């Protein structure tokens, strides 16, 4: 009889439950009076036809010029060649000790060389070092032929990976970067590719920091001379053709923050290094990357009605990491928009609102707010109590 009464009463008071539709915004941290935009130096002016600087973890663009303009990428192409090799190894279709027979075509490929010999067998591990450290066109072709049969088919693999990564301004026609009118990329695409390489194949990425590699009694230095100039630089790749000019994708990590710079179309080797250093120095000096919130952390507790708990924790589904002007981290203003009342049942991880992070007058982050625990429906008696409370609360 009591259960029937409770169920009837809850239905009678049900109109008050439309409070769930109302939303309100509150601060989840002490508010700071701040409305002016952050002040930071302008990005450097570089002697290059296009350039880009991003935070590797957040993807935030810190400086750019013609970053979406299609350019001949020269040997920057080999970043994708190595990426495809990494993918094949991850799938178990290629092993580091697997021996590859060098074809006449690979041996004859012009430009920079690893100096492999026709008819000999070379391990995948050595060829990969030849591609990454020595920028060997012959090594690139040997790997391409072994993986896909020929360079044209290997290029199709490269383009499939480019599409998946989101490289919308790129088309590959070979594994080396040798001149081809239909072979092009952009600074932003090369940065995205490098992001993917560092994240997906960190073991391979470590090869980009090696300064020398010897094969066939020939020792060659890494063409990225920033490795000698800046101990925080650990990659990535140089490139040069007459059409592309001097290019360099560089990456450095300082105090837990990793930046990726792309310089395309510089006038000489010294210029591409100098301009890359300018970009990296600008980024590290003027920006910082912070994990503002971690997933699973309770940002705030809110009342919940008709459930087995009185309150439910609210948080974010994924870590919130931001790159912001240095010195402005304490001026972030978090704003949480949630329903005026939360009602059970609620699943753990259920989206119930939105979080905004505001810096100055700009919203720099938007994301869902989720419950950190599940809240099942309570029994009829407890639900009746909540219904009565909300009924009289709504009359005020």
Beta strands in the chain (DSSP E): 23-27, 50-55, 61-65, 99-101, 121-123, 212-215, 218-221, 233-241, 245-254, 257-266, 287-293, 300-305, 311-316, 320-325, 333-339, 342-343, 351-359, 362-371
Cβ atoms 309, 262 nearer than 8 A: no
C-alpha 124/C-alpha 158 separation (Å) is 18
Neighbours of 384 (CB within 10 A): 21
For residue 88, the surrounding DSSP H or E stretch is helix 77-90
C-alpha 373/C-alpha 344 separation (Å) is 12
Select which of 103, 112, 135, 185 is catalytic.
Answer: 135
C-alpha 111/C-alpha 133 separation (Å) is 15
Catalytic status, residue 75? yes
* Closest to 66 in 3D by CA, of 79, 83, 82, 49: 49
Cα–Cα distances (Å) from 284 to 259, 293, 339, 344, in that order, read: 8, 22, 40, 47
* Residues ≥6 apart with Cβ < 8 Å to 271: 47, 48, 246
Select which of 49, 71, 78, 261 is catalytic.
Answer: 78
Residue linked to tokens 């000999």: 120
Catalytic status, residue 78? yes
C-alpha 173/C-alpha 107 separation (Å) is 19
Cα–Cα distances (Å) from 377 to 10, 62, 349, 383, 393, in that order, read: 13, 48, 16, 8, 21
Catalytic status, residue 382? no
Select which of 75, 140, 175, 289 is catalytic.
Answer: 75
Which residues are annotated as catalytic? Answer: 75, 78, 135
């Amino acid at each position: 009889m009591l259960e029937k009464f409770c169920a009837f009463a809850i239905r009678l008071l049900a109109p008050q439950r439309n409070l769930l539709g109302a939303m309100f915004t509150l601060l989840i941290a002490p508010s700071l009076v701040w409305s002016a935009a952050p002040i930071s130096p302008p990005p450097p002016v570089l002697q290059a036809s296009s350039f880009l600087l991003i935070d590797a973890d957040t993807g935030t663009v810190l400086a750019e010029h013609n970053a979406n303009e299609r350019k001949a990428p020269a040997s920057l192409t080999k970043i994708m060649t190595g990426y495809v090799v990494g993918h094949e190894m991850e799938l178990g279709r290629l092993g580091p000790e697997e021996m590859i027979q060098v074809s006449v075509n690979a041996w004859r490929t012009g430009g920079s060389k690893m100096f492999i010999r026709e008819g000999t067998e070379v391990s995948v591990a050595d060829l990969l070092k030849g591609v990454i450290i020595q920028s060997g066109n012959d090594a690139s072709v040997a790997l391409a032929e072994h993986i896909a049969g020929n360079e044209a088919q290997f290029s199709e693999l490269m383009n499939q990976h480019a599409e998946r990564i989101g490289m919308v301004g790129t088309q590959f026609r070979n594994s080396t970067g040798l001149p081809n009118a239909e072979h092009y990329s952009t600074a932003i695409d090369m940065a995205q590719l490098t992001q993917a390489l560092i994240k997906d194949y960190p073991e391979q990425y470590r090869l980009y920091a090696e300064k020398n590699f010897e094969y066939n009694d020939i020792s060659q230095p890494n063409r990225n001379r920033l490795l000698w100039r800046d101990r925080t630089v650990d990659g990535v790749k140089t490139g040069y053709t007459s059409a592309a000019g001097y290019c360099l994708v560089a990456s450095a990590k300082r105090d837990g923050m990793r930046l990726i710079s792309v310089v395309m179309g510089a006038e000489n080797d010294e210029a591409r290094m100098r301009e890359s250093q300018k970009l990296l120095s600008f980024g590290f000096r003027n920006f910082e990357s912070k994990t503002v919130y971690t997933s699973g952390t309770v940002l705030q507790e809110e009342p919940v009605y008709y459930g087995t708990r009185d309150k439910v924790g609210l948080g974010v589904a994924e870590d919130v990491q931001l790159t912001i002007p240095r010195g402005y981290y304490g001026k972030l203003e978090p704003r949480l928009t949630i329903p005026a009342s939360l009602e059970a049942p609620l699943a753990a991880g259920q989206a119930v609102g939105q979080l905004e992070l505001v810096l100055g007058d700009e919203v720099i982050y938007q994301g869902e707010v989720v419950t950190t625990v599940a809240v099942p429906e309570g029994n009829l008696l407890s639900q009746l109590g909540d219904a009565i409370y909300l009924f009289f609360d709504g009359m005020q």
